[in-house]
Amino acid sequence: MYQWPDLTTLEILVAVADHGSLSAGARQIGVAQPNASRAISRLERRLGVVLLTRSTQGSVVTPKGLTIVEWARDVLAAGEKLMRGAEGLASTGMDSLVVVASQTVAEHLLPRWISQLRSVHEVHVDIRVANSETAVADIISGRAQLGFVEGPEVPKGLHHVTVTRDELVVVVPPLHEWASRTSPISRRELAETQLVTREVGSGTRTTLDRALGDQGPVRPLLELESNAAVRVAVLSGAGPTALSRLAVEDYLARDELVEVPVEGLRTERVLRAIWAGPRELARPASDLLAASRDPQSGARRTPLM
């Protein structure tokens, strides 16, 4: 029988990967750094894998640790689903809503929208995080009532509305050769460079392939299934990437990443809500859609289609 890892320790490990250091990860989880360090050490002994490279400059996740991080995300998501399901069973009479959202929306926008929803409607929300292609499939199949996607197109037969706009930016760590460039790189140079990138089917990958046009498609160095994993790989020096500005703006502000201008590259995109069935959504889905289009969320209003 396995000795199951502690979920809080997995949370700490994921937070270290997402926030770049042990101290930042511990703060995010609300755990003292010495306790977080001891917990990671116990996990390393249990798994037989070195998860962090420790130095006087701080602790960063090892390449093998990054693989464990991605598996840990699945474990934590399953644990959250269990707890949310239990909450739903315990909350007699509470409305429920199944929402599927692409990575960028789920990480950076959806929490605020759900907070606004719960301020006006007592509701249990089951959130599924998937790439845009899978999110569309979940809406078509009825597995989710409302979806949020970042892909450039929506299949016919689905209702959709733009909730906000976004753009991809090319970023590198400060020591990368592109960081000191005084002029933009070309689309051809970007297309000929192997990139750390999201997987095929994600809105980010589709948008970048289209932006490269006849110079593309992307040449992947690494294909990863979350924005956080891509970001960690780039911060570790794996290579350049193109990610949503929402996903990297804090790192740009702290000078941990550098934005690289690309001549002639147009990566603007719309983030949409999508749904099937009647044109008019019922509550609580309609309340969440209204929250996503609230001016405080940064959304730009456009007509329903």
For the chain, which residues make up each domain, given as ranges? 7-74, 89-164+270-297, 165-268
Does 165-268 match 7-74 at the fold level? Answer: no
Amino acid at 33: Q
pLDDT at residue 41 in the model = 93
Buried b or exposed e, range 8-23, using 16+ CB within 10 angstroms = ebbbbbbbbbbbbbbe
Residue 45 has pLDDT above 60, yes or no: yes
Read off the pLDDT of residues 144-186 as tens digits, 9 standing for 90 and up: 999 999 866 788 888 999 988 889 999 999 999 999 988 999 9
Please report which confidence band the pLDDT of residue 93 belongs to, taking 50, 70 and 90 as the band edges: low
Give 304's DSSP letter.
-
pLDDT above 70 (res 268): yes
Omega prior to 217 cis, within 30 of 0: yes
Q: What is the CATH number of domain 7-74?
A: 1.10.10.10
Helix (H) or strand (E) holding 262: strand 262-263
Rounded CA-CA distance 58/19 in Å is: 12
Predicted confidence band at 305 (pLDDT cuts at 50, 70, 90)? very low
165-268 is a CATH 3.40.190.290 domain: yes
Per-residue pLDDT of 183-221, as tens digits, reads: 999 999 999 999 999 988 888 898 899 899 888 789 999
What CATH class has 89-164+270-297?
A: alpha beta
At 221, which amino acid appears?
L
Q: Are strands 258-259 and 194-198 parallel, antiparallel or unpaired?
A: unpaired
